[in-house]
Amino acid sequence: MAIMNRRAFLAAPLGAAAAARLGGFAPEKNQLGLVRSTHPRLSRPASPEDPLDYERVRDMVWQAIRYAGGLEDRIRSGSWVVIKPNIVSLRPMPHYRTGDVTDLRVTRAVVEYVARHSQAARVTVAEGGSYRAPHDPTPDSVVMQNGRHTDALNFDWGAQEFPGLAGSLADVLHGASAAFPAKRFDYVDLSYDAVRDPAGTFQRIEVPRSATGVGGFGERTDYFVTNAIRNCDFLISVPVMKVHLMCGITACLKNYVGTAPRQCYASPGGFSNDRLHAQHSLDGRIDSFITDLAAFHPPDFNVVDGIRGLQYEEHGNGKPDQMIRSNLILAGRDPVATDALVARLVGFQPWDIEFLHMASQRAMGTFDLGRVKVTGDDPSPLFARWAKPKGWFGRCNREWRVTRDPSAPVAEWCPYQAPTETLHFTRWPGAGGPAPAYAAATHVRAGESRKVWLWMGVHGRAVAWLNDQKVLEEENLTRYRIGQFRKAVELRSGDNLLVFHVKAAAGLPRLSALLVGPQNDGDSAWGIRWSA
* CA atoms 192, 193, 198, 201: torsion sign: negative
Segments making up each domain of the chain, as ranges: 6-382, 399-531
- The dihedral formed by the CA atoms of 39, 45, 47 and 51, expressed in degrees to the nearest 10: -120
| Helix count and strand count (H, E) for the chain | 11, 24
Q: What are the pLDDT tens digits along the chain (532 aa)?
A: 343 333 333 333 333 333 333 333 344 578 999 999 999 999 999 999 999 999 999 999 999 999 999 999 999 999 999 999 999 999 999 999 999 999 999 999 999 999 999 999 999 999 999 999 999 999 999 999 999 999 999 999 999 999 999 999 999 999 999 999 999 999 999 999 999 999 999 999 999 999 989 999 999 999 999 999 999 999 999 999 999 999 999 999 999 999 999 999 999 999 999 999 999 999 999 999 999 999 999 999 999 999 999 999 999 999 999 999 999 999 999 999 999 999 999 999 999 999 999 999 999 999 999 999 999 999 999 999 999 999 999 999 999 999 999 999 999 999 999 999 999 999 988 888 888 999 999 999 999 999 999 999 999 999 999 999 999 999 999 999 999 999 999 999 999 999 999 999 888 899 999 999 999 999 999 889 999 9
Q: What is the phi-psi region of residue 346: left when phi exceeds 0, alpha when psi lies from -120 to 50, beta otherwise?
A: alpha
Q: What is the phi-psi region of residue 45: left when phi exceeds 0, alpha when psi lies from -120 to 50, beta otherwise?
A: beta
pTM to 2 decimals?
A: 0.93
CA distances from 502 to 32, 35, 376, 404, 456 (A): 46, 51, 52, 10, 12
Helix (H, G, I), strand (E, B) or coil at 64: helix
Task: Determine contact, residues 516/453, Cβ cutoff 8 Å.
Answer: yes
Rounded Cα distance, 143 and 322, in Å:
24
Partners of 486 in the β-ladder:
455
Rounded Cα distance, 309 and 471, in Å:
41
Q: Which fold has domain 399-531?
A: Jelly Rolls (2.60.120)
Query: Which residue from 240, 259, 252, 232 is spatially nearest to 335, judged by alpha carbons?
Result: 252
Task: Determine contact, residues 6/372, Cβ cutoff 8 Å.
Answer: no
Q: What pLDDT score was predicted for residue 401? A: 97
- If one counts every other C-beta atom within 10 angstroms of the C-beta of residue 140, the result is 12
CA distances from 364 to 16, 236, 292, 337 (A): 17, 14, 11, 9
Query: Which residue from 301, 235, 240, 253 is spatially nearest to 67, judged by alpha carbons?
Result: 301
CA distances from 200 to 78, 196, 324, 439, 509 (A): 29, 5, 45, 52, 46
The burial class, CB within 10 Å (0-12 / 13-18 / 19+), for 402 is buried
Query: Which residues are CB-contacts of 328 (< 8 A; sequence separation ≥ 6)?
Result: 34, 35, 36, 37, 60, 306, 307, 345, 377, 382
